[in-house]
Amino acid sequence: MGEAGAGVGAPGGPEASPEAEVVKLLPFLAPGARADLQAAAVRHVLALTGSGPGRALLAGQEALLQALVELAPASAPARDAARALVNLAADPGLHETLLAADPGLPARLLGRALDPQWPWAEEAAAALANLSREQGPCAELMAALAAAEPADSGLERMVRALCTPGYNARAPLHYLAPLLSNLSQRPAARAFLLDPDRCVVQRLLPLTQYPDSSVRRGGVVGTLRNCCFEHRHHKWLLGPEVDILPFLLLPLAGPEDFSEEEMERLPVDLQYLPPDKQREPDADIRKMLVEAIMLLTATAPGRQQVRDQGAYLILRELHSWEPEPDVRAACEKLIQVLIGDEPERGMENLLEVQVPEDVEQQLQQLDCREQEQLQREQAPEPWVERATPT
């Protein structure tokens, strides 16, 4: 990397600031620049994104960000430029700086991600997935999509690309799924996803079993879980138009041999599974599946429908098998809801129960402690991608 830096604007003297040196890279990133110098400049930028100070230096450079996005797809440095944007977006502390420096960045990245001919569309989708993880930048991204695209067409194009095999022959587009999951934090996105006339949820359901990518499975399951927060749609989600429960239970099912009586209580898709049936291997995805089912039990009719479809049998076997303590605990809570007594009158909707202030404070403290513990353990987030600088 030392030679690359020297070839594209080595420090002119001890008084030269880092910002000034970054600006010197711009002529080498412009269209028509000599190919070898352009490649060296992009490698230098990618190397800078490998450190916190380097990312902070680059994040506020609007012209440089635009140059990275606009590099011709056929040029050799285009992949490294896309990976540099992935790294910049992977740093949550830089999201506001990135969007302030280049408000049009999300819309341009989306255009790249959804271009069927763009060879680095996966990197563009990964950058957007990273950029949309937090609520603030996620809201800004939704606003940018709404301003840049006709009503809902950005989300519709995203779903179509995600659900169409071979949409881009040179990019698998797995990271569109975590991007959609992050966007589904927003009420407007959930309203789009849950519109019965669009059949979006029905198109996503088969991807809960997608064999080739845990990133895609996790993003889709996260999207479905977020949709399950809308309890007004539970009847539709559990009913015959969508029939979501078998798709949530099947990844949690193993090769158990149930009795004939128990087998009849299960949905058809969960009966007589082969002896080599494997559960979802990713613990984070298993937990999200359990959480989605838990949300569907928020109302009395929802709890009854989940009981009637034999969910307890699958969850009972999962609880016996589950090696991860947090997933096992979530499963145990759900089993208690299914086999326990119904809440007293007026408290049937568990999502609308008023929690006493002192209890809420205790829960918040416990949540903070859990987050601190996760940070100490450096638990990875399955939908965050960072490219390794060369």
Tens digit of each residue's pLDDT (9 = 90 or more) over 244-274: 999 999 999 999 989 999 999 999 999 999 9
Backbone angles phi, psi at 228, to 5 degrees: -70, -10
Alpha-carbon span 153 to 110, nearest angstrom: 12
Tens digit of each residue's pLDDT (9 = 90 or more) over 134-152: 887 788 778 777 776 555 5
Residue whose structure tokens are 């009158």: 345
Model pLDDT, residue 345: 54
Contact (CB, 8 A) for 285 and 217: yes
Tens digit of each residue's pLDDT (9 = 90 or more) over 318-371: 999 999 999 999 999 999 999 976 654 544 444 444 444 554 455 456 555 554
Tens digit of each residue's pLDDT (9 = 90 or more) over 109-118: 888 999 999 9
Q: How many C-alpha atoms does 77 have within 13 Å on its Cβ side?
A: 29
Contact (CB, 8 A) for 213 and 219: no
pLDDT over 90, % of the chain = 55
Tens digit of each residue's pLDDT (9 = 90 or more) over 299-322: 999 999 999 999 999 999 999 999
How buried is residue 110: exposed, middle or buried, by Cβ count under 10 Å (0-12/13-18/19+)? buried
**Mean pLDDT, rounded, of the chain:** 83
Model pLDDT, residue 267: 94
Model pLDDT, residue 304: 93
Contact (CB, 8 A) for 254 and 318: yes
Model pLDDT, residue 377: 40
Alpha-carbon span 161 to 113, nearest angstrom: 9
Contact (CB, 8 A) for 294 and 334: yes
pLDDT over 70, % of the chain = 81
Model pLDDT, residue 223: 97
